[in-house]
């Protein structure tokens, strides 16, 4: 289904006008990681860089969705247009992204200046983070600011997604205890603001204290990062969280740190694309299955095989008329 230039023109018009249909179609296109997706990003990219992008992550059950909805309403109340991407690794066990969409959208769907959508990875090669990056760009280009990115889990996938946004909020809840310490490894380091949600539960002070201790142990200035108590279901603490995020934006911008982060994110993004590129080229250049069969009989080790395939890609690509 080749998309013509005029198709793309029309889609871009719809995206710039923030038409829901166009935004949805654009995001679907980006999820599929096709060549058309690359063409769309080519159109979108020059329009990006205006939105402050905020990632919200934390263990399942910490109330991230409710918190993100509250945050969106708070931004909306001050006249901002808010985009939300709920990143949902599709799996037969989670029910996929569509259900999430419906559940999450209910109470926001009537406001045309809050756009919310789940994003799931579909292509085998794309992964979650690249599609999310492209999706955030689309909402940025459409004029949403801030763009909020919410993840479902707390694994490496989510860490990768959090490495695509300007600022990271890590949400925890009282009573998770020691187990949470291990889960948070990898994400603690990139958090800008911590939230202890469900702060009407017993153990909230202890949770804050535990978090403080963990941050102090890091000895990297982490201890100065704010910890905000919220009860997202009653919209308590949300405005305070927003103030911290606004302050964070100002500080990041003034120190040149925002620019530095975006540069590193761009680096990861281009590296991801190069990785995809070499795998496609390898499949085109050699009969990968036949090569793997030889290696699986232990006649050749994986390193030697990879080197040989790489050389073959270089050879066959460079000899092709370009």
| Contacts to a copy of itself from residues 46-85, by CB under 8 A | 46, 48-49, 59-61
Between CA 262 and CA 140 the distance in angstroms is 14
Contact stretch for a copy of itself (CB under 8 A) within 67-75, 163-171, 193-201, 256-264: 256-264
Contact stretch for a copy of itself (CB under 8 A) within 23-31, 68-76, 100-108, 277-285: 277-285
CA distances from 105 to 65, 72, 97 (A): 10, 12, 12
CB 23 within 8 A of CB 118: no
> Pseudo-torsion of CA 160, 164, 168, 174, nearest 10°?
-30
CB of 217 to a copy of itself, least distance (A): 7
For the chain, state the CA radius of gyration: 22
Q: Which of 189, 192, 202, 238 binds a copy of itself (CB under 8 A)?
A: 189
| Site membership for a copy of itself, residue 282 (CB under 8 A) | yes
| Site membership for a copy of itself, residue 94 (CB under 8 A) | yes
Give 72 or 129: the residue with its C-beta nearer to a copy of itself: 129
| Site membership for a copy of itself, residue 175 (CB under 8 A) | no
CB of 273 to a copy of itself, least distance (A): 4
| Site membership for a copy of itself, residue 9 (CB under 8 A) | no
Residues 99-138, interacting with a copy of itself (CB under 8 A): none
Q: What is the 3-state secondary structure (H, E, C) of 97-138?
A: HHHHHHHHHCCCCCCCCEEEEEECCCCCCCCHHHHHHHHHHH
Contact stretch for a copy of itself (CB under 8 A) within 45-53, 79-87, 162-170, 237-245: 45-53
- Residues 6 or more apart from 153 whose CB is under 8 A from it? 60, 89
Q: Which of 106, 213, 243, 304 binds a copy of itself (CB under 8 A)?
A: 304
Q: Which two tokens stand for residue 238?
A: 């949300």
Kind plus residue range of the DSSP H or E element containing 273: helix 257-285
- Residues 6 or more apart from 132 whose CB is under 8 A from it? 85, 87, 119, 149, 161, 164
CB of 112 to a copy of itself, least distance (A): 27
| Site membership for a copy of itself, residue 87 (CB under 8 A) | no
Contact stretch for a copy of itself (CB under 8 A) within 4-12, 178-186, 202-210, 241-249: 178-186
């Amino acid at each position: 289904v080749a998309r013509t230039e005029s198709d793309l023109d029309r889609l871009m018009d719809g995206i710039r006008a923030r038409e829901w249909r166009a935004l949805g179609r654009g995001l679907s296109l980006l999820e599929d990681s096709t060549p058309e997706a690359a063409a769309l990003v080519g159109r979108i990219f020059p329009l990006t860089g205006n939105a402050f992008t905020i990632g919200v992550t934390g263990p399942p059950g910490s109330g991230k969705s409710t918190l993100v909805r509250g945050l969106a309403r708070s931004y909306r109340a001050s006249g901002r247009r808010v985009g939300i991407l709920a990143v949902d690794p599709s799996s037969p066990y989670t029910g996929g992204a569509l259900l999430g969409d419906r559940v999450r959208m209910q109470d926001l769907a009537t406001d045309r200046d809050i756009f919310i959508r789940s994003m799931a990875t579909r292509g085998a090669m794309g992964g979650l983070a690249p599609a999310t990056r492209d999706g955030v760009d689309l909402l940025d280009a459409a004029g949403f600011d801030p763009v909020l990115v919410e993840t479902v889990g707390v694994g490496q996938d989510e860490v990768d997604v959090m490495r695509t946004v300007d600022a990271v909020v890590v949400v925890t809840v009282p009573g998770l205890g020691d187990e949470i310490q291990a889960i948070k490894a990898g994400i603690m380091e990139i958090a800008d603001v911590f939230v202890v949600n469900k702060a009407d539960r017993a153990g909230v002070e202890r949770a804050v204290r535990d978090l403080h201790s963990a941050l102090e142990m890091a000895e990297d200035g982490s201890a100065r990062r704010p910890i905000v108590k919220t009860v997202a279901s009653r919209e308590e603490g949300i405005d305070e969280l927003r103030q911290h995020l606004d302050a964070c934006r100002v500080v990041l911008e003034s120190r040149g740190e925002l620019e530095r982060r975006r540069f590193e994110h761009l680096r990861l993004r281009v590296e991801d694309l190069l990785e995809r590129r070499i795998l496609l080229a390898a499949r085109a250049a050699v009969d990968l299955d036949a090569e793997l069969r030889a290696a699986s009989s232990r006649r050749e080790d994986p390193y030697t095989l990879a080197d040989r395939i790489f050389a073959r890609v270089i050879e066959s690509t460079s000899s092709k008329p370009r």
